[in-house]
Amino acid sequence: MGAYGSDGFGEDDGYIPNGPYNSNPTYTYRDNVTKIVGRHNLQFGAYFVAAQKNELTGTNPSVNGSLAFDNTSPVSSGNPFADLLLGNIANFAQSSAQAKYYNRYKILEPYFQDDFHATRKLTLNLGIRFSLFGTYRERYHQAYNFDPAAWQLANAPQVDADGSVTGQAGALIPGAGNPFNGMVQCGRPGSPVSASGFPNAAVAGTSNVGCMKGHLFNPAPRIGFAFDPKGDGKTAIRGGYGIFFEHTNGNEADTEALESSPPLVQVPTQYNISGYGNIGSAAGATPLLFPLSVFSIPTKAIWPYVQQWHFDIQHDVFRNTVATIAYVGSKGTHLGRKYELNQLHPLPLSQNPYAPGEPIGAVDGSHDDCGSMTTPSGVSITGQAAVNIACGADPNPFRPFLGFGDITQLDNKAGSSYHALQTQLRRSIGALQLNVSYTYSHSIDDASDGGVFGDGGILNAFDFRAFRASSNFDERHLFKVSYVYDLPFFKGSGMANRLIGGWQLSGIAGWETGTPFSVYNGAANPDNAGLGNGVASGAGAGQSYADVISDPHQNVPQFDPASGFGPFIANPNAFVAPRGLTLGDSGRNFLRNPGHWNIDMALFKHFAIKENVAFEFRAEAFNIFNHTEWGPLGGDQGGAAGSGGFSSGTSSFGGSNFLQTGTAYSPRILQLGAKFIF
């Protein structure tokens, strides 16, 4: 609630708690059989699952309604707090229902594998798994999906762009048109539905049992080998290839993402109400509907799958020392992604009135492009350019699917690739066990995390290829050293050994490079291309990138330790506001967060009191040298910075302390532990 005398405030009496939220029983059965026939070790079996997800969804606003008070409302007294007491309500919104959904799916996966010892030196692994995936569905047909094929321009409702008809800019004009044009009730035929002010409101239907036509049969072969070229047990050459299907989970491209979709849940809004008694039908006015923001999933099931392969050589290089070098790769196909289906068309470069290097509002922000409808260089802004520049106007009247706002499309059409060189050295020297490993890898994709809460970094749905870049979680170099050392003091029997002997020292030291992040444009015009991409901004991503004008790794400025921020990771002067009506040219995941190194150690002692009684003591130190490890500046979902929310938020152009570190990993932490065993 805002302070007394503020411009306005709203009050929603909440939608949590509302009883049991989730009940997710999952019934599984598996059986495996192993049989040895000569040189063949045969394994076969099956895995079955029948899963449910029964959940009561939250609605926003709640079914109890939401009140807002605003001193710009025609019924306001000029003071929002006084309006609360007087009943001068700027608007009242209320969800029409709060549904409980009953999602179901079944999986059956039989498999067969043969480990064939072809010779004394060669073993072959041959197998196949059949992933028989049932379609995700809602038991009582309460799921409603937006299907672009069901949308018809002739049935689209009209948007009151300036408020001249309804009194509220952006509202749907009651009367003709269907506010649910393109909405499909999954598993049911189409039918009329009730909607305030729209007698022709209806939804389409589908003959499928759920929202999607199923895809049952998914064969997944696997093959591998292990070869000892000399037969002396000192060298092993291994390789393998396999396909692995994934059924996906809730909130991905399946029915669960459609919970609380209209028309089952509607949010009519009533404006400028004088007196609490005039809320709703008592006011004698028709509550207004606005363009719906909905979800859309595919009408045919396409299951994600990953192809994985590896080839490694392991050799006993000398006594008690084993070295391994491996190539590991994978390719993801039909992976989940999320994007704005109802964005405005981007302006063709040939029609852009802005010159290269010319941002909206001029470099210093002194030019009023919207007031003059000219660029800072004096070129007129007309045609589609005038639509894209928006000037603060509502994009909904210009969207491709008229009558809707943001349409969040979830589908399984993204792809990824991963290639890695992995090395490892293991050495045992008496009481010391040492392990050293290094990985050089690169992960590339065009979406790092699909689903409702996933990666929103696809800024232009008309050009997916432009967003293929290093994955949000990509770490190019990883180096680890770990050890366990039995301290050689008081090794004999007796009281000295029991009290001060038998200590074990262990630790791990590691260094890794940082994950990538996009340099988003956070200046005066974040939606610089004018695409109205609410899905990207709602996922925490930007809506455009900064332009890059020089090498950001040159001339990196020094920092002032007294500023409260750490060092710069790149030169902020290498970036400028993007050219007007473009997405910017720095692109997805252009820079990397700082890498970091860390050393942890532990000391352990087992005190044997009797045969069945003992006492254990452990002392652990994390970041034992207490050095500063700078944290990430930013990153999208799928990476640690985006998913974990751990970043300084200084990765966007135009923001304060741009490209300067502002978070750090934990300082030294010491902890002691004891365990009594009896």
Parse the chain into domains and list their residue ranges.
19-57+96-342+407-429
Q: Computed over its alpha carbons, how large is the radius of gyration of the chain?
A: 31
Strand partners, 582: none
Residue 645 has a pLDDT of: 67
Q: Is the pLDDT of residue 635 over 80?
A: yes
Residue 374 has a pLDDT of: 94
- pLDDT tens column, 9-36: 666 555 554 455 678 899 999 999 999 9
In the structure encoding, which two tokens stand for residue 492, read together? Answer: 């004999």
Q: Is the pLDDT of residue 284 over 70?
A: no
Confidence band (pLDDT; 50, 70, 90) for 158?
A: very high
Confidence band (pLDDT; 50, 70, 90) for 3?
A: very low
Q: Give CA–CA dist 456/341, Å, rounded.
A: 12
Task: Specify which of 5-9, 91-95, 487-491 reaches the highest per-range mean pLDDT.
Answer: 91-95
Confidence band (pLDDT; 50, 70, 90) for 472?
A: very high
Q: Is the pLDDT of residue 647 over 90?
A: no
Q: Give CA–CA dist 507/602, Å, rounded.
A: 6
Half-sphere exposure of 384 (CA within 13 A, CB side): 13
Q: Is the pLDDT of residue 488 over 90?
A: no
Q: Give CA–CA dist 532/459, Å, rounded.
A: 10
Strands 305-318, 88-93: pairing kind: unpaired
Residue 23 has a pLDDT of: 83
Q: Any idea what the Cα angle at residue 65 is, between residues 59 and 70, rounded to 5°? A: 115
Q: Give CA–CA dist 559/403, Å, rounded.
A: 51
Element (H, E) at 548: strand 547-548
- pLDDT tens column, 402-412: 999 999 999 99
Q: Give CA–CA dist 299/70, Å, rounded.
A: 43
Residue 64 has a pLDDT of: 80
Residue 285 has a pLDDT of: 63
Q: Do 575 and 519 meet the contact criterion of CB atoms below 8 Å apart?
A: yes
In the structure encoding, which two tokens stand for residue 78, read together? Answer: 């000029």
Q: Is the pLDDT of residue 463 over 90?
A: yes
Confidence band (pLDDT; 50, 70, 90) for 162?
A: confident
Q: Do 421 and 329 meet the contact criterion of CB atoms below 8 Å apart?
A: no
Sign of CA dihedral 186, 187, 190, 194: negative
Q: Give CA–CA dist 506/77, Å, rounded.
A: 71
Confidence band (pLDDT; 50, 70, 90) for 1?
A: very low
- pLDDT tens column, 109-154: 999 999 999 999 999 999 999 999 998 899 999 999 999 999 999 9
Confidence band (pLDDT; 50, 70, 90) for 510?
A: very high
Helix or strand or coil: residue 86?
Answer: helix
Mean pLDDT for the stretch of residues 266-287:
74
Residue 306 has a pLDDT of: 97
From the number of C-beta atoms within 10 Å of its C-beta (0-12, 13-18, 19+), residue 655 rates as middle
Residue 582 has a pLDDT of: 95
What mean pLDDT is reported for the chain?
89
Mean pLDDT for the stretch of residues 249-255:
86
Q: DSSP letters of 586-632?
A: S-TT-EEPPPEEEEEEEEEEEEE-SSS-EEEEEEEEESTT----B--
Residue 578 has a pLDDT of: 95
Question: What percent of the chain has pLDDT above 70?
Answer: 95
Helix or strand or coil: residue 276?
Answer: helix
Confidence band (pLDDT; 50, 70, 90) for 44?
A: very high
Element (H, E) at 640: helix 640-643
- List b or e across 514-548, with b for residues whose CB sees 16 or more CB atoms inside 10 angstroms: bbbbbbbbbbebebbbbbbbbbbbebbbbbbbbbb
Helix or strand or coil: residue 459?
Answer: coil
Q: How far from each other are the two terminal CA atoms of the chain, in whole angstroms?
A: 57
Confidence band (pLDDT; 50, 70, 90) for 99?
A: confident
- pLDDT tens column, 357-395: 999 999 988 999 988 999 999 999 999 999 988 777 788
Segments of 267-403 assigned E as strands: 269-274, 292-296, 305-318, 321-340
Q: Is the pLDDT of residue 305 over 50?
A: yes
Q: Do 566 and 660 meet the contact criterion of CB atoms below 8 Å apart?
A: yes
Contacts of range 502-505, beta carbons closer than 8 Å, 24 or more positions apart: 502/605, 502/606, 503/603, 503/604, 503/605, 504/603, 504/604, 504/605, 505/601, 505/602, 505/603, 505/604
Strand partners, 670: 621
Q: Is the pLDDT of residue 264 over 70?
A: yes
Residue 603 has a pLDDT of: 94
Between the CA of residue 575 and those of 545, 567, 587, 614, 648, what are the distances in Å?
Answer: 10, 17, 12, 63, 19
Confidence band (pLDDT; 50, 70, 90) for 288?
A: confident
Closest CA to 210 of 296, 294, 98, 104: 104
Residue 21 has a pLDDT of: 67
Sign of CA dihedral 134, 135, 136, 141: negative
Strand partners, 226: 123, 238
Q: Give CA–CA dist 386/524, Å, rounded.
A: 18
Q: pTM, whole model, 2 decimals?
A: 0.88
Mean pLDDT for the stretch of residues 214-223:
96
Q: Give CA–CA dist 78/76, Å, rounded.
A: 5
Task: Specify which of 249-253, 587-591, 613-617 reaches the highest per-range mean pLDDT.
Answer: 587-591
